[in-house]
Structure 1
Amino acid sequence: MKISFHGADREVTGSCHLLEAAGKRILVDCGMYQGSRELDEQNGDDFGFDPASIDILLLTHAHLDHCGRIPLLVDRGFSGEIITTAASRELARLVMLDAAGLQEADAERRQRHAWRRGDKDGQPLYTTLDALNAMDRFGRVARYGQPIELAPGLTATFHDAGHILGSASIRIVQEGDGGRSVIFSGDLGNSGRPILRDPQPPPHADAVVMETTYGDRLHKPLGPSVEELYAAITDTFARGGNVVIPTFALERAQEILYYLRAGVESGRLPRTLPVFLDSPMAISATEIFRRHTECYDPKERALFAQGGDPFALPGLRFTRETADSMALNRIRGGAILMAGSGMCTGGRVRHHLRHNLWREDSSVVFVGYAASGTLARILIDGAKSVRLFGDDIPVRAHLHTINGFSAHADRDELLAWHTAIKPDKTILVHGDERVMQAFATRLSATEVHMPGNGDAITL
């Protein structure tokens, strides 16, 4: 077995790892870089391998930084099979189509400016048609705990990673003399959260390729984080303002809806609480969540079986149409506006920020990861004003950063998962280099590697 590394190596996004075994070239994830403009520009670079040479792509889950470059891979020659879980297949379609639409819109804007400069640059990374073509490459559906043959004597088994709906860690085993086994962690979930099951560590493997996003810190407990959310809403309504929640469409939007429903049912929030989910992608993702209760923990699955709905709120309104989204900006107070993107790099949330950031009575509540260089991070770091749609907007709203909702395992959960597997060799990826170094000091009885982009390791 040989593994080469082509993304999320000493950085947090762009997961892409190539395994060569049993005469097959197997790609694990093909994600998009996210964050600064420099990272965005990396998405169009060469992959570091020939896409046409890849036989199989195994997708751990449907977040953009794990599936976002699949249409580009197909456009550049990949014609093999993509294998993932049923839920990840549906979510990946949604994510790739959304990304294509955003890239086409951005390219159109760039082209308008380019024509005025007299040139014709500004092409999208890929188009909606490319995203649809990529769906034709999806083949067999993986089920947790059931091996799938990739080649004679070579199998892959998906194990529940508890991160988002359908997420998986993948254990690949090559049998026979000198056989080896390796686990790709994907992104590991934060235990004890609602809706999804906790991560399930796979059996022992010789090596593990492991994410380290939060490998140097512990998360705030979930209970106090939920109370902090309720307090932020209550205080804002008392001031007469709106609550803007920049929302990741997959998992985070559904989790916040879950806790808002629980807050209404417990009396912590008013029964008439007006909540607007202003994200076509999050609305579609919520519908996909409702279809895949096989991924739920037993309590929530039983609720659905009894006719309940963990996302149902009396005052919940879905706003798919642009005109309906624009109308929300006329609401002066007393509403919760959930909109993408979670890092405020695009989407409808930027319009809501434009109309609420300057208001002292309103609040912006960040409930997810904010990468360096994103508008969310700029606000969290204390900017006094930000530029939106050509205007300088003063930041007067109350800003809340609630870290306990993370969908990622923290340091101790990562260590527990690693200890359960007992690998001989540990390869750290998908994390800031400083964080990796800190996490590596806590690993014992294992050989630790931190590869750079283009590096290769033979097992």
Structure 2
Amino acid sequence: MQHRPTIRFHGAAGTVTGSCFAIETAGGLILVDCGMFQGSKTEKELNYRPFPFDPESVVAVVLTHAHIDHAGLLPKLARFGYRGPIYATGGTMDLCSVMLPDSAHIQEYEVEQLNRRNRRRSRVQVEPIYDATDAALVLTQFRPVRLRQWQEIAQDVRVRFWNAGHLLGSASIEMEIGQGRDLLRLLFSGDIGSGFKLLQHDPEAPAGFDYVVCESTYGGTDRLDTTDIGRRRILAQEVSTASRHRDGALIIPSFAVERTQELLADLIFLMETGDIPSCPIIIDSPLAIRATDIFEKHRDDLENGDLLVRAIRSKNVRFTQTVEQSKAVDFVRGFHIVIAASGMCEAGRIRHRLKNWLWREEGTVLLVGFQAAGTLGRILQDGAATVRIQGDEISVRANIRSIDVYSGHADGAELSSWLAGRLPVRYAVFLVHGEEEAMEAMARRAAALVGDEHVYRPRLDSAFRLDADGPVDISQAGPPPRIDPQQAGHRDWNNDYQTLLLDLQAELRNAADDKARGVVIRKIRRALEE
């Protein structure tokens, strides 16, 4: 092989979100995923900056699944010149057809709100990352692929998709580069689902690779009870406790796609069996409603598809499509459950529901998925006494609860088992999609399978040449990383600033009198002068 392939990790490296791996081959530049960064403001700002490659130079994109941290920047890719194919499963295509326009709508709406505030403050106007036109354009570039069937995507490059068990349409992607004795075999795990997911079949993939790029989101976690019975028992306990407040509400921030549908199916099952009281369940997310229609369409591809359909049609379930219907949720009386996006509380209608319930002791907020560092969900999970939402300071008096049995990701033991099934791995396992602690734990698990010398932890924008005898780090030969890799996957200055503002306001509010408040202000001024 005269041209040695290279791989660059332009996202999900040292952090969980922003999945984007660029593989340079003799046949051209190929992307695996093109996802949006979530988390701290420092990471989210990467969404607005230029790609670290020329979009017009990309010859093909292969997409593991539809989640926004894997697919969310595809419209931006099209906006800046990419016109090639995007290969994905039928389920992924259907979900992207509603998720990408929804993402564009959220960005346009939030930028409009921000620019309104900026005009009042004489600040520069900003533009959304992309708009509805870009989302519509990129959807025309999707090309369907079937599981387990080879698809040629560039000269001497072909791929094959395998069920990843994470989400409707989700896949691990097998890639072969070259021919004959020069053939390289790679596997990109995508997000691997738990073997106990309600709606998905178990993940699968072949064995024997030169390189495996493996997620590590929950690499340090061993869930104690993730069976159907155990999961429902844990959920029932949370609902029963929250329902003791007869005029309260259980607010569940949830990803609109699959997590919402799983929760809905289990809640109705528990009501039918009498394990939780019957009450209204309000799905307050237009995206979740559209996604639910897609799940119903693909029910024959799902495990427990009939259970989901029965839940969707239950008399207890209400859907809020319009803004007016959503606002009316604040006036519902009696105990009720609201499921609203987004799952990390970063955007969407969940922020309105939190503004209405966080300050009320009769409210319960149940976090049911991974909360990335720097997100409002993580801040609540970490026990903040006050938070800022849309510029307003909100006291946290509601009961903040967290359960981990609805994660779409395999835990550490399941990831280790999945990786063991891919052996032998000849050269390297690259660990991605993980914060530092989880990745280090997964590295120990992987080292037990392939040896420590074959386990790599790429950082943001790092690059490796895939030589005949293993990977060579060529990061120093390329452009510098877009941000300090140490900032990825951590709280940033903006998180610390917001916390400082809240702490200062609490200090002034709790001071004995105006004289004491003056002392606090003078101390801060002296610190600034120094």
TM-score, normalised with respect to structure 2: 0.82
Question: Which stretch of structure 1 is more off in the superposition, 381-390 or 343-352?
Answer: 381-390
Q: What is the CA-CA distance between 1:255 and the residue it aligns to?
A: 0.5
Alpha-carbon distance, 1:435 to partner = 2.4
Q: 1:33·1:42 contact (CA, 8 Å) conserved in 2?
A: yes
Check conservation: 2:8, 2:463, Cα contact below 8 A. yes
Taking the aligned partners of 2:310 and 2:176, their CA distance within structure 1 comes to 39
Alignment of 1:4-403 (within 5 A): 4-118=8-122, 120-139=124-143, 141-151=144-154, 153-174=156-177, 175-222=179-226, 223-240=229-246, 241-270=248-277, 272-297=278-303, 300-301=304-305, 303=306, 309=310, 311-403=312-404
Q: Deviations 1:326-352 (Å, cap 9, x if unpaired)? A: 111012331111111111112111222
SS in 2 for 1:7: coil
Q: Structure 1 residues 393 and 333, CA, compared in 2 at 3 Å: closer, same or farther?
A: farther
In structure 2, the gaps of 5 or more residues are 467-530
Residue range with higher mean Cα deviation, 351-360 or 60-69? 351-360
Deviation digits for residues 38-60 of structure 1 (CA, Å, limit 9, x no counterpart) = 11111122221111010000000
Instruction: Return closer, same or farther for 1:250/1:220 CA change in 2, 3 Å cut-off.
Output: farther
For residues 349 and 302 of structure 2, the distance between their equivalents in structure 1, rounded to whole angstroms, comes to: 29
**Cα deviation code 1:86-106 (max 9, x no counterpart):** 110111222211111111112
Q: Is the 8 A contact 1:34 1:40 kept in 2?
A: yes
- Structure 2 distance, partners of 1:204, 1:312, is 45
What letter matches 2:219 in structure 1?
G
Contact persistence 2:296–2:309 (CA under 8 A): no
Map Cα deviations across residues 131-176 of structure 1 (whole Å, 9 max, x no partner).
Answer: 111112112x111111112235432100000001100000011332
Q: In structure 2, how many angstroms separate the alpha carbons of the residues matched to 1:349 and 1:85? A: 30
Contact 2:27 2:156 in 1 (8 A): no
Summarize deviations over 1:9-59 as a string: whole Å, max 9, x none. Answer: 111110100112342321000000001111111112222111101000000
Contact 1:359/1:396, CA 8 A, preserved across alignment: yes
Partner of residue 3, structure 1: 7
Counterpart contact for 1:219–1:406, Cα < 8 Å: no
CA 1:384–1:206 in 2, change beyond 3 Å: closer, same or farther?
same
1:398–1:434 distance in 2 versus 1, CA, 3 Å = closer
Give the whole-Å Cα distance in 2 for the aligned partners of 1:445 and 1:377.
33
Deviations 1:386-414 (A, max 9, x none): 23344432222222101111110111111
Q: 3-state SS of the aligned residue for 2:214? A: strand
Native 8 Å contact 1:237 1:333 kept in 2: no
Amino acid of the structure 1 residue aligned with 2:358: L
CA distance in 2, matches of 1:157, 1:71: 24
- How much is the aligned-residue C-alpha RMSD, in angstroms? 1.8
Opposite residue 450 of structure 2, the aligned amino acid is A
55-64 vs 167-176, which deviates more?
167-176
Identity of aligned pairs, percent? 39
Relative to structure 1, the CA distance from residue 177 to residue 432 in structure 2 (aligned partners, 3 Å threshold; closer, same or farther) is: same
Q: Are 2:431 and 1:431 equivalent residues in the alignment? A: no
CA contact (8 A) 1:30 1:66 kept: yes
**C-alpha displacement of 1:366:** 0.9
Aligned residues: 452
The answer as to whether partners of 1:242 and 1:332 remain within 8 angstroms in 2 is no
Contact conserved, 2:285 with 2:341, CA < 8 A, in 1? yes
For the structure 1 residues 221 and 115, does the alpha-carbon distance in structure 2 shift closer, same or farther, using more than 3 Å as the test? same
Q: 1:308, 1:33 → 2: CA distance? A: 33
3-state SS in 1 of match to 2:252: strand
How far apart are the structure 2 equivalents of 1:229 and 1:318? 21
Distance (Å, rounded) in 2 between the aligned partners of 1:362 and 1:152: 58
Q: Which amino acid aligns with 1:244?
A: I
After alignment, is 412-421 or 101-110 more displaced?
Answer: 101-110
Instruction: Give the Cα–Cα distance (whole angstroms) in 2 for the partners of residues 294 and 78 of structure 1.
Output: 34
AA matched with 1:147: W
Mapped contact 2:284–2:320 kept (Cα < 8 A): yes
**In 1: Cα distance, 2:332 partner to 2:441 partner:** 46
Is contact 2:59-2:154 (8 Å) kept? no
- Residues 240-296 of structure 1, C-alpha deviation per residue, up to 9 Å, x if partnerless? 1111111110111011011012102212123x4211101000111111111123531
* C-alpha distance in structure 2 between counterparts of 1:386 and 1:201, whole Å: 43
Task: Sort the Cα spacing of 1:137 and 1:354 in 2 relative to 1 into closer, same or farther, 3 A.
Answer: same
SS at match of 1:333: coil
Change (3 A) 1:351 1:118: closer
TM-score, structure 1 length as denominator? 0.94
